[in-house]
Amino acid sequence: MGSGGLIGNLYRPLNQGQIETIHQKSLDVIEHIGMTFETGLDDMLDMVEAAGCRVDRKNARIYFPRKLAEEMVSQAPAEFILYSRDGRNDLHVGSDRVYAGTGGSALNVIDLDTRQVRRGVLEDIYNVARLVDRLDNIHFFQRCVIPHDVPVEYYDVNSLFAPMLGTTKHIMFGCDLEKGLLDAVELASIVVGGREKLRKNPVFSIASCMIISPLKFCTQSVKNVCEAARQMVPVAISSAPMSGSTSPMTMAGTLVQTHAEELAGITVHQLSNPGAPALYGGLPGMADMRSMGYQGGGVEFGMMQTAIHQLAEYVKVPNYASSGLSDSKIPDAQAGWEKAFTTALAVMGGNNYIHHAAGMLESMLCISYEQYVMDDEIIGMACKILEGIAVDEEHMAYDAIEEVGPGGNYLMSDHTLRFIRSEYFQSNGVSDKSGRRDWETNGCLDARERARMIATKILSAPEEPKIHQDLATEIRKKFHVFV
């Protein structure tokens, strides 16, 4: 098993006074500036108006009283479990417990065989799930690519079924349609043995970008979030502003706006069904002011993401975070340092559910199979930081020092044998620890090529579908699934 669930909180960019100041300023934003909305949200407008919001339909503005927002956000559970199907990779989200995994809805894939960029297809979702199932430091699966070979109306059900075939780890996908969500609930209920079992042990969740920054509700995503609340399907309520473009240029201003958007989104979610599980999904990023494109690899991204965890923790809602969003186009050194910095900061900060941490390149536009293997190593090393240094009698090794004595060595010491595999991080094979001569004898492979070989080995092994054949046949007859 991997090292998920370790406690972060080693890095805190905001002090307590700054957290409280940002929180109050964010409440000012939704109370006095308000949120706008797209058309088609009459039910939501009626609901928030009945709860005490001032709704200006003519000018498309909702004003959330701070007391209402704080009351409704307090209804969201401070901790809950995102279940795996085998019980070995459950995610106990909340507090400063850390988990990291995939993310996506990327458009493109670097093909494992040709090494050329191509459009993502459904088979990629299945194959990445198979990889994730074997990579111990990747704690969950989130839909990695848009399946361009699937009709849009069937994205949701296929985004659940394909990874369910490939892994028993928890699955999240970006829900597109309300019907898709209801189909996913029905499909998952078949797999786990009934609707009540799924309600008690949710083995899948959805992510929904409820807010179009700045400060605008998205119609379809609002409907999905409200339906998820009614179905008790855990949902990550996300907003992803870019500083300098869709949020203020400063980090503090971007944090104020992001927190305001999250408070408004969680309020709507909780009004739909108080106590339904939600992840605070503030994902502040940066615009490249030269190209106006998304800039995912900056160290400030990691700083703001960790500050967001502090704000989520302040309102006692588990958070959905990002790391690993390299701007590099291939798995190279740039990808390595950008991913290592943002993932280490996210992990050290205690972010609860860190998606995008594995596989992503080109600022979320592309995935790479070998990058998943490399990121498994990065996540594992980042989580190793959280273990700290054990200082007890056995680890201080006085008896071993006495036994070996001055001038001796510890190679054959019982103490060495006891701790040889547990004291230091163990590579999955992508890092080369050999001497130069051995490295040359083995073909002078770089990290990307070693990772590619590991990914190929995993995917060339006999397939072991994670859904019983009879259930898979039943699902294929009932739903439009294509894998």
**pLDDT for residue 376:** 98
pLDDT digits (tens, 9 = 90+) for 409-429: 999 999 999 999 999 999 999
Decide if pLDDT at 356 tops 90. yes
Alpha carbon 223 to its chain's center: 22
**pLDDT for residue 1:** 46
The residue ranges of every structural domain in the chain are: 6-14+74-387, 394-425
Decide if pLDDT at 2 tops 80. no
Decide if pLDDT at 474 tops 60. yes
pLDDT digits (tens, 9 = 90+) for 362-393: 988 999 999 999 999 999 999 999 999 999 99
Long-range contacts of 402-407 (CB under 8 A, 24+ apart): none
Q: Are strands 211-212 and 216-217 parallel, antiparallel or unpaired?
A: antiparallel
**pLDDT for residue 272:** 98
Averaged pLDDT of the chain: 95
Q: How far apart, in whole angstroms, are the C-alpha atoms of residue 475 and residue 184?
A: 11
How does residue 101 score in pLDDT terms, banded at 50, 70 and 90?
Answer: very high
**pLDDT for residue 297:** 67
How does residue 104 score in pLDDT terms, banded at 50, 70 and 90?
Answer: confident
Q: Cis ω on the peptide bond leading into residue 214 (within 30° of 0)? A: yes
Q: How far apart, in whole angstroms, are the C-alpha atoms of residue 6 and residue 87?
A: 17
How does residue 176 score in pLDDT terms, banded at 50, 70 and 90?
Answer: confident
**pLDDT for residue 4:** 85
**pLDDT for residue 298:** 79
Decide if pLDDT at 227 tops 70. yes
Structure tokens at 331: 């798995």
The mean per-residue pLDDT over the stretch 316-336 comes to 95
**pLDDT for residue 441:** 96
% the chain with pLDDT above 90: 94
Contact 481, 471 (CB under 8 A): no
Q: How far apart, in whole angstroms, are the C-alpha atoms of residue 454 and residue 445?
A: 12
Query: Which one of 3.40.50.720, 3.20.20.480, 3.40.250.10, 1.10.760.10 gives the CATH number of domain 6-14+74-387?
Result: 3.20.20.480
For the residues of 115-136, what is the DSSP string, one character each? --EEE--HHHHHHHHHHHHH-T
Helices (DSSP H) in 149-231: which residue ranges? Answer: 155-166, 178-192, 195-200, 219-231
The mean per-residue pLDDT over the stretch 278-306 comes to 85
Contact 234, 352 (CB under 8 A): no
**pLDDT for residue 301:** 87
pLDDT digits (tens, 9 = 90+) for 66-93: 999 999 999 999 999 999 999 999 999 9
Structure tokens at 80: 């809950």
Contact 360, 371 (CB under 8 A): yes
Decide if pLDDT at 252 tops 70. yes
